[in-house]
Amino acid sequence: MDRILPEDLLRRLCRARDAIHERSNEALTLDHLARAAGLSRFHFLRSFREAFSATPHQYLTRVRLHRARQLLLEERASVTEVCFEVGFQSLGSFSALFRRRFFQVPHAKERSIIPCCYLAWFSNSGEAPRAAAR
């Protein structure tokens, strides 16, 4: 059963959440975030999970992955550069987490999947694809 968090506690948790968004490329620890919220680390961990349905580490990882995806879509840097720019320390971990989150491996150039029937349609100058002769 979900309970409503007191306004003061929610405000403190939002300060920590904002710190995650502002400093997601840094090595943030549970102690740093609990200090930003002005709570003990254990109370902070329990309350954060209750408020945002994720632990601070899970939330930080999600923020980093979404930022990485943005940078990859902008094609400003290689996968390795993006990995380290958003705060990951390991390219292997980054790639595995990215694949698990977005169901694809990270690419410097995002590729969209186009069904073959559309490719055939547009490659024939707008003519409908011809049925194969039997």
Q: What's the pLDDT score for residue 2? A: 62
DSSP line for the chain: ---PPPHHHHHHHHHHHHHHHHTTTS---HHHHHHHHTS-HHHHHHHHHHHHSS-HHHHHHHHHHHHHHHHHHHT-S-HHHHHHHTT-S-HHHHHHHHHHHHSS---SS------HHHHHHHHTTTPPPPPPP-
| Whole-number pLDDT of residue 75 | 85
Biggest CA–CA distance in the chain, Å, is: 74
One digit per residue, pLDDT tens: the chain, 134 residues?
Answer: 467 789 999 999 999 999 999 999 999 999 999 999 999 999 999 999 999 999 999 999 999 999 999 999 988 889 999 999 999 999 999 999 999 999 988 876 544 444 555 545 555 444 444 555 54
Q: Give the model's pLDDT for residue 93.
A: 95
* pLDDT of amino acid 132: 52
pLDDT at 127: 47
Q: Supply the pLDDT for residue 3.
A: 72
